[in-house]
Structure 1
Amino acid sequence: MTDHRTALATVEAQLDAFNAGDLDAFAATYADDAVVTGVSPSAIVGSDELRAFYGPRLANPDLSCVIEETVLFGDRWVVAREQVVNAGIPTETIATFDVVNGRIARASMLKG
C-alpha cells in the first residue's frame, strides 16, 4: 500500500486513532513490518505484535495523548514532544517517527 500523506499528517492520524481507541486506524498508520521501541521491554515488530500490545491500551478510556510540539526533519522524520495521560497522570514523552510512503516504519519513545 502506498499512501501519500505527509509525515506530519501520518503522525497526526496515528495520534487521532490512539485517542479514539481505534486499533484498526492506529495500526493502519504503521507499516506491516514496523518496529516500535521504548514502550515495552523488547521491540514490537510487525502488525501482529503492534495490535497485541496496543489493543488493550487503546481499550483503556483513561489513556490519551497530546502532542505539544513537533519538528519535521527532511520529509520523513518527525520528533514529537508528547504528554501521555493515563488515569489523569501525565508522562512527558519524546517520540521519534520515521515515516516512509505515508506509514510509520520505525517509532521510538523516550519517557520522562
Structure 2
Amino acid sequence: MTALQTVTAQLDAFNAHDLDAFVATYSEDAVITGVDAQPIIGRAAIRAFYEPRLANPELSCVIDATVLFGERWVVAQERVVNAGVATETIATFDVVDGLIARASMLKA
C-alpha cells in the first residue's frame, strides 16, 4: 500500500467506526501526538484511546486536502466533526511499509 492508501484506509475505518480496521493501519509501536496530553504509544494504547471515541456515532472526519512528501510522509487538512461541530486539524502521517509509524495532529 502507498502512504496515501494507508491514510485513506485509516480514515475509512475511522468513519466506519471499525476499531479493528483503524488500529490495523498503525504499526505495533506507532506514536500518535496531539490528540491527548501525552503521546499515545503502541497499538494497545491506540485501541484503548480510540475505542470510546469510535463508539460515538456522531464522530466523523473529512480530509479536505492532502500532500505527499516523498514516499512516506502525508500531510492532511482534516475536519473532525463531533455532534455537528467541526474542528479543523492538520495531520501528519509517517507511513513505513504500509503502516502508520507516527501521526501528529495540530488542532486549529
TM range (shorter): over 0.9
Aligned residue number for residue 67 of structure 1: 63
Which aligned pairs between 1:1-112 and structure 2 lie closer than 5 A? 5-112=1-108
Please give the alpha-carbon distance, in whole angstroms, between the structure 1 residues aligned to 2:60 and 2:84: 9
Give the C-alpha shift of residue 6 in structure 1.
Answer: 0.1
Alpha-carbon RMSD across the aligned residues, in angstroms, is 0.2
* Equivalenced residues, count: 108
Q: Which 5+ residue runs of structure 2 have no aligned equivalent?
A: none
Amino acid at match of 1:83: R
**After TM superposition, which residue ranges in structure 1, 4 or more long, deviate above 2 angstroms?**
none
Please give the alpha-carbon distance, in whole angstroms, between the structure 2 residues aligned to 1:99 and 1:58: 22
Q: Per-residue displacement from partner, 1:3-30 (whole Å, max 9, x unpaired)?
A: xx00000000000000000000000000
Q: Which 5+ residue runs of structure 1 have no aligned equivalent?
A: none
Q: What TM-score do the two structures reach when normalised by structure 2?
A: 1.00
| Secondary structure of the corresponding residue to residue 53 of structure 1 | helix
Give the C-alpha shift of residue 65 in structure 1.
Answer: 0.1
Give the C-alpha shift of residue 69 in structure 1.
Answer: 0.1
Please give the alpha-carbon distance, in whole angstroms, between the structure 2 residues aligned to 1:102 and 1:48: 19
Please give the alpha-carbon distance, in whole angstroms, between the structure 1 residues aligned to 2:28 and 2:51: 16
Please give the alpha-carbon distance, in whole angstroms, between the structure 1 residues aligned to 2:55 and 2:29: 23
Give the C-alpha shift of residue 75 in structure 1.
Answer: 0.1
Give the C-alpha shift of residue 94 in structure 1.
Answer: 0.1
